[in-house]
Amino acid sequence: MTLTISEDIMKATRMSEAEMRLEIAVMLFAADRLTLGQARRLADMDRIAFQHVLASRHIGIHYDVDDFEDDLDLLDRLTA
């Protein structure tokens, strides 16, 4: 799917396309609508750079007990 944002909207925001993509990615990640990987790809950034942006805005990484247990299960399978 392609999303087109009109030139007048872009001018009103005074943002570049990259800035707009970053803002959308951060917003969707913070709202738990995108994973970290999906959001950083939308922002066209590497994982560390995107995490720095999140940290600078005091947005925590979504990592809960279920994620931790999934990681432990994966480690068990890899070492078995």
Sequence spans of domains, the chain:
7-79
Rounded Cα gap, residues 21 and 8, in angstroms = 16
pLDDT single digits (tens) 5-45: 999 999 999 999 999 999 999 999 999 999 888 999 999 99
Rounded Cα gap, residues 66 and 76, in angstroms = 15
Mean pLDDT of 49-73: 88
What does the pLDDT read at residue 60?
A: 92
| H/E segment holding residue 8 | helix 7-13
pLDDT of 53 strictly over 90: yes
Rounded Cα gap, residues 38 and 36, in angstroms = 6
Type of residue at 11: K
pLDDT of 80 strictly over 80: no
- What Rg value do the Cα atoms of the chain yield, rounded? 16
What does the pLDDT read at residue 42?
A: 96
pTM: 0.76
